[in-house]
Structure 1
């Protein structure tokens, strides 16, 4: 991706998705709106392990563009947290809606593999941890992030074919 000074305050220069600061600002604002309106939301951590991004850094941008297509609503966000983790914010969504997005993420990643793996000779292993909750006065935003991060770590340490897991945070 060509770096743009116009987007430097809220976009990750390598992938083009939102950066962590912007994501946290928007997620916090949405948390408080969902608290007032008694709506549920979801936080997802995506951990892709693309083993050829060092030799071919453009693959990460192509990957995030493909995953972003799984988010059909303009209000949903994807952001880069660090070199190995992306956060997705799904707003005004319940358990079933989150499961649909998880399925669409699987489909988009499979399409990414079909389009690019044969040309670039790489493998990908990914895990998605999802936490769904309805904000309330007894639940703080930090608990959601801690619970999803713990689930992500546990899921990332498993060596089975399970790509995602979802919890209800209360």
Structure 2
């Protein structure tokens, strides 16, 4: 036999159901408004994508966006047996530069270096990104060893031509960069970390040999 529900309890249960129903309808209406408003929000704020894909200080691609592009280009190069080149770039003795000239001058330096690096790439598929701190990275799809050398040297010279004063630099009187370059044809089922690792290794060699230069993997070929 079913229990008998009193009038008071029945009214309480009905009231609770109505409240939950009203809350559900309000949340549903709010979500619908947000969905309808989303395209208008993107139209009214064309910089939304910049906040996601670009480095706030320099305006070039950020590391997250770079890694997405690298993954895509790596798979394409492996599938089509094409060359892929990557350049790791680091400002020489930048910590001492900031200690000497201050953070504001350091930020100015990073912005100018980003412009100089970007000016060295000519194709729309090439990507220059800020990798972190004073480190930058460049991805060059469909680019062999000789092509990567041309870009790396152009980057080094461009930064030197900006002529940012660095009076107590151990190697000169202006800001310089060191670069590590790696070129290969990706193997199927491999990962982009192989390319990054070789470029970082070459960057370390460039630093060890005196900075303001690039080193490339493979050494010959």
TM-score range with shorter-chain normalisation? Answer: 0.7 to 0.9
Mapping for residues 82-121 of structure 1, pairs under 5 Å: 82-113=132-163, 116-117=164-165
Query: Could you tell me which of 55, 68, 85 is aligned with 1:42?
Result: 85
TM-score, normalised on structure 2? Answer: 0.66
State the 4+ residue runs in structure 1 displaced beyond 3 angstroms.
none
Query: Corresponding residue for 2:131?
Result: 81
SS at match of 1:70: coil
- Which structure 1 segments of 5+ residues have no match? none
Q: Secondary structure at the match of 2:215?
A: strand
Q: Which has more radius of gyration?
A: 2
Alpha-carbon offset, residue 159 of structure 1? 5.0
Unaligned runs of 5+ in 2: 1-46, 167-172
Counterpart secondary structure, 2:165: helix
Q: What TM-score does the superposition give when structure 1 sets the normalisation length?
A: 0.84
The reply to whether residue 146 of structure 1 matches residue 197 of structure 2 is yes
Q: Which has the higher strand share?
A: 1
Aligned to 2:59: 16
Task: Give yes or no for the alignment of 1:33 onto 2:76.
Answer: yes
Asked whether the equivalents of residues 53 and 60 of structure 1 are also in contact (C-alpha less than 8 Å), the reply is: no
RCO higher in 1 or 2 (8 Å CA, sep ≥ 6)? 1
Cα RMSD, aligned residues only: 2.3
- 1:155 and 2:206 equivalent? yes
User: Which of 181, 186, 195 is 1:130 aligned to?
Assistant: 181
Query: In structure 2, the residue corresponding to 1:160 is in which secondary structure?
Result: coil
Number of equivalenced pairs? 161
**Structure 1: distance between partners of 2:118 and 2:127:** 8
Which has the larger displacement, 129-138 or 28-37?
129-138
- Residue of structure 1 equivalent to 2:120: 70
